[in-house]
Amino acid sequence: MAYSQDTIKPKTPEIAAKKNPLDIGELKINLNPKGDKWLKFSVSSQIWLRNIENNPGTAVNSIPQQETYDAGMRRMRLTIQSQITPFYTVFIQVGANNQNFISGGGSGTGTNGAGKKAAFFFHDAYNELAIVPRNNFQTGQLNKNNIYMGVGLHSWNGVSRMTNGSTTKMLAGDLPIFNFPTIEIADQFSRQFGVFVHGEFNRLNYRFSVNKPFATNIKPSIGGGAVDNNQNGKLSFAGYTYYQFFNKEITATSFLAGNNLAVKKILNVGAGFYTNKNATLTQPKENVFESHNASIFGTDIYSEIPVGNQKKEMGLTLYSVFYHYNYGPNYLRTSGIMNPGTADPDFTGQKALEGAGNNRFLMGTGNIFFTQAGFVLPKFSKILKVQPFFSYALKDLKALHEKGSYYDVGANFFLYGQNAKIVAQYSSRPIYDAVSKIIFDRKGEFLLGLYIVL
């Protein structure tokens, strides 16, 4: 199949495989006859159609609204990878995200309104050097141990597999987002500037980085929870390793698949971390400030198991992860993807602590357990393949007085392998009372997603 930002494939015997009848080839330009200098391209698009049950007290375009229909661009990406020499590569990814009729664009109204002209920016931009390559450049023989080093704006992240998750090989309609511990706060769409190293020691795959987090300077309220404020500018440290018991995965880019349709037997067990000294700030008394370290740890397991008759192409995909987050006392974050809502100033009913629209509590100081599973149904068509899935998150956050359960249920309809699919999904989230901080309601969201990658 065609590569994407997470499936760019080096030309080596290590990944030689039986030709997929749906393979549409690579978007690749060789720069010399030998083929060891090249440019590769990838284009991906994710369009969402949704029906959202809004949180209590929501206004959309200044009109009170309990339910909202919308269409939007979740992700649109262009990826370029260049191998200048067999030892040196450049990786660039640009794109736009989260644009719908009212969010993700410019400010104000009129020509450059709130939903118009979404920002198109660099997601990744780094250079990488092969210290010990995966394959010997002269003989083509596999090196069991390899190591690569790079520098730039990158997503060779720590903590978990899903913190390094591919957005073109997801099991559900989207990643849960709390897998990115500093998303759009101390990072740029889960990327930071820094130096990274990655590679393999036989079956142990590893990645580590030292980065300079993006600056934050939110001012804490007196007696309130910790907020993002890293004004003294300390470095962050991150790492993730996983052991591969069966088939090995190729990590030519940082992105790890969450769904390979269980075509090969995989069992990986991993663990990782992210730390940043003095990342947050509290104000326990007026004009008395205390800094707090951010420390996030995760451990996970990922498995893909082909099932039954090989000709039926059935398979089970499983993933589970446990996160422990410590951002300081009562740190709490909310998020609503492409949120169409704002607070209704005239609302007098029971208010949601999360705020308006489809906001939910994303993460905070505390623990989160997440698990998901999908099963590829027996083959019944040369074109269509169906994979029902389910995911569940249990969030135990210190700033709240009750644990919250979040779930998604749906199915993937693959029309051309993973190059083209449609996702149908229903998601349910709890709603917390603004005063008692306990759950008083639940709201849902229907998603129909159209995904293309070339």
- In which band, very low, low, confident or very high, does the pLDDT at 22 lie, cut at 50, 70 and 90? low
Q: Compute CA 41 distance to the chain's CA centroid, rounded to the nearest angstrom.
A: 21
- Tell me the average pLDDT of the chain: 93
- pLDDT, position 81: 96
Task: Check if the beta carbon of residue 195 is closer than 8 Å to that of residue 210.
Answer: yes
Average of pLDDT values for 106-122?
Answer: 85
Which segment of 54-58, 248-252, 264-268, 311-315 scores lowest on mean pLDDT?
Answer: 248-252
- pLDDT, position 24: 66
Say how far apart CA 155 and CA 41 lie, in whole Å.
18
Q: Which amino acid is at 156?
A: W
Share of the chain above pLDDT 90, in %: 87
- pLDDT, position 141: 86
pLDDT digits (tens, 9 = 90+) for 328-382: 999 999 999 999 999 999 999 999 999 999 999 999 999 999 999 999 999 999 9
- In which band, very low, low, confident or very high, does the pLDDT at 107 lie, cut at 50, 70 and 90? confident
Give the global pTM: 0.93
Asked whether the predicted pLDDT for residue 156 surpasses 90, the reply is yes
Asked whether the predicted pLDDT for residue 10 surpasses 60, the reply is no
Please report the domains of the chain, with CATH numbers, ordered by start residue.
Answer: 13-453 (2.40.160.10)
Asked whether the predicted pLDDT for residue 5 surpasses 50, the reply is no
Cα Rg of the chain, angstroms? 22
Q: Which residues sit opposite 429 in a β-bridge? A: 443
For residue 102, give the nearest of 144, 72, 147 by alpha carbon: 72
Six token digits for residue 294: 């951010």
Q: Which residues sit opposite 275 in a β-bridge? A: 237, 295
- pLDDT, position 333: 98
- pLDDT, position 319: 98
Task: Check if the beta carbon of residue 350 is closer than 8 Å to that of residue 383.
Answer: no
- pLDDT, position 86: 87
- pLDDT, position 21: 56
Cα–Cα distances in Å, from 243 out to 95, 240, 247, 330, 364?
A: 32, 11, 11, 34, 28
- pLDDT, position 23: 59
β strands within 202-265, DSSP E: 204-212, 227-228, 236-244
CB-CB neighbours of 210 under 10 Å: 14
Which segment of 33-37, 55-59, 233-237, 411-415 scores lowest on mean pLDDT?
Answer: 33-37
Q: Which amino acid is at 165?
A: G
Task: Check if the beta carbon of residue 92 is closer than 8 Å to that of residue 122.
Answer: yes
- pLDDT, position 20: 54
pLDDT digits (tens, 9 = 90+) for 36-92: 899 999 999 999 999 999 999 999 999 999 999 999 999 999 999 999 888 999 999
- pLDDT, position 136: 84
- pLDDT, position 423: 98
